[in-house]
Amino acid sequence: MQLLNSALTRLSENYLGGISVDRVVTVVGVLLSYVLAHAFQRIPARMAAAKHIFSIISTVFLFGPVQEQYTGLIHMAVGSAAIYGLIRWIRSAYMPYAVFLVAMLHMSYSHIQRQIHERSTGAVEMDYTGAQMVFVIKVTSLAFCVYDGRPNVVHPRMSAYQRKNAISRVPGLLEYLGYVFFFAGFSVGPAFELATYRKMVALDDTRVQRQLPRRAYRKLLEGAFWMVIYVAYSNVYTYQAMTKPQFYAHRSLLSSALYMCTTGLVVRSAYYTAWKMGEGACILAGLGFDGYDAHGAVQWMDIANVHVRGVELGSSLRQLIDSWNVGTNTWLRHHVYLRISRTPADGARTSSTRATVLTFLVSAWWHGFYPGYYLTFVLAALSANAARILRRNLHAIVALPADNHVSALRRALKLMYDVAGWILSKYTLDFAAAPFMVLSLQPSMQLWRDNYFVVPLAVLGIFIAFNGLGAGRFIRSIVGLPQSVPGIKTGKRLKK
């Protein structure tokens, strides 16, 4: 649609601060999916095939003529056909792993092609690889769910999540394509399981359907708020500016830290915009309906890809990480980490370190091959480990007893601990995320160097102090805590 692109280009140049047109087109596609979601819900539940067809056609329209990602459509059409064949025809326990390998290798080709194009043009653009990343989560999750549902296979120690989403038989081709090419979450997510898609298609309760617009448009407004933040400040606060030596000519380390944290918020606002708007479109179509409880009340599952409050206000790095890209974290936990850490033969647990490292490598592979991604993931993993060490050794000192009979000084210490945790976690997150946005190795290392490698050196210091020099034992002896179980058993039940 050349006319649409011309209009959006003028809109971006005149009113949106020159934001790249591909981002504007993506938002327009998400907004159009709200209109399509209203129509989708009006198709009766008994006409499931019509819903599948409507979803496929809508995706072809949004991703093809609107976003002009025809190459991506071809890639995912071919990929979906190949993967469906693997799911249907491979009967052994290797089926989900074959699907995983084929899907990841196909996406790797797309990532490499994108990097070659961006290196030749010098411009970072949005293309179909974002949608393909969601596609990979869906098809690999489906393969594992089909495997989990086979009656002749023993699955020791399956998680409740895996049992809930197990599929007893391979879905028909039309249902499979309707799920994979579901229009509302195709470009930006969220990703979800086939069992969740089936509940949406089968939704036929007017009481529930009346609740959908209010829930959906609340997410749309939330996304619009973050879009305003991004449009207003994305040209003012950038990580790229921090890669230039002149940026630090008249700035202190504190000033640079404040700029970095503000930049992190502005960068995240672009993700909040896409993910919250996409979440609202999915809700409007009925996604997230989870049946009824014992009293007949409607139940909703959490399909959010990000919990903004957890990311922005979390007092620990673990909370920040768990609240970000939730769909990917769920996929990595239930379809990667738990599959690695539990052997299929007897359910015995393998090394958690081995499982963690392999899961980290899968996450990095899934994102692509820019060096900045790997700098971010390595530092984030080490920082999370360091944060756990600090919490294990310091939290019991300030934690409040369950009876709340504590002095004002103890409460003040707990508040200071939480505030310090929030500040340090935010700075660590934004410092680690810088290479993810800069992408290239040399500028990323330059940015870290100009900020004195504060976070890597702090992480190293924590490892040396607590793992090498016994700082934890010294602290516990000073405050009178037991040495046997670091920082946890104090004789009283502690609040988290």
pLDDT at residue 305 tops 90: yes
Name the residue among 179, 180, 185 with its Cα closest to residue 30. Answer: 185
Dihedral over alpha carbons 409, 415, 418, 424 (to 10 degrees) = -90
pLDDT of 73-108, one tens digit each?
999 999 999 999 999 999 888 999 999 999 999 999
- Calculate ∠ Cα 328-332-334, nearest 5°: 115
- Helix orientation angle between 352-367 and 371-398, rounded to the nearest 10 degrees: 140
State how far the Cα of 321 lies from the Cα of 197, in Å rounded to an integer: 26
What are 289's strand-pairing partners? 300
**Whether residue 63 has pLDDT greater than 80:** yes
- Over residues 439-489, the pLDDT tens digits come to 999 999 999 999 999 999 999 999 999 988 888 787 777 766 666 544 443
DSSP label at residue 292: E
Written as one letter, the residue type at 411 is R
Residue 207 tokens, joined: 């009481």
Structure tokens at 366: 């899934």
> Quick one: 15 exposed, middle or buried, by C-beta within 10 A (0-12, 13-18, 19+)?
exposed
3-state SS track over 88-140: HHCCCCCHHHHHHHHHHHHHHHHHHHHHHHHHHHCCCCCCCHHHHHHHHHHHH
Q: What is the pLDDT of residues 260-288, one digit of tens each?
A: 999 999 999 999 999 999 999 999 999 99
Contact predicate 169/149, CB 8 Å? yes
> 450: buried, middle or exposed (CB in 10 Å: 19+, 13-18, 0-12)?
middle
Q: Six-digit token pair at 379?
A: 């530092």
348 touches 342 (CB < 8 A)? yes
DSSP letter assigned to residue 51: H
How many angstroms separate the Cα of 221 from the Cα of each of 211, 264, 271? 16, 21, 14
Taking Cα atoms as reference points, which of 355, 285, 301, 48 lies closest to residue 165? 301
Residue 280: phi and psi, rounded to 5, are -65, -40
Tally the residues of the chain: 496
Angle between helices 352-367 and 129-148 (to 10 degrees): 140
Q: In whole angstroms, give the CA distance from residue 356 to residue 18.
A: 41
Q: Where do the H-state alpha helices sit in 245-345?
A: 253-285, 308-313, 317-322, 326-332, 338-341
Q: Is the pLDDT of residue 144 over 80?
A: yes
Q: Which residues 6+ apart lie within 8 Å of 4 measured at CB?
A: 25, 28, 66
How many angstroms separate the CA atoms of 33 and 285, rounded?
9
Res 251 pLDDT > 70: yes
Beta bridge partners of 292: 298
Mean pLDDT for the chain?
88
Which two three-digit tokens encode residue 359?
């899961």
**Where residue 348 falls among pLDDT bands split at 50, 70, 90?**
low
Residue where the block lists tokens 């707990």: 414
Give percent above pLDDT 90 in the chain: 62
Which residues have CB under 8 Å from 127's CB, separation 6+?
22, 69, 72, 114
State pTM to two decimals. Answer: 0.90
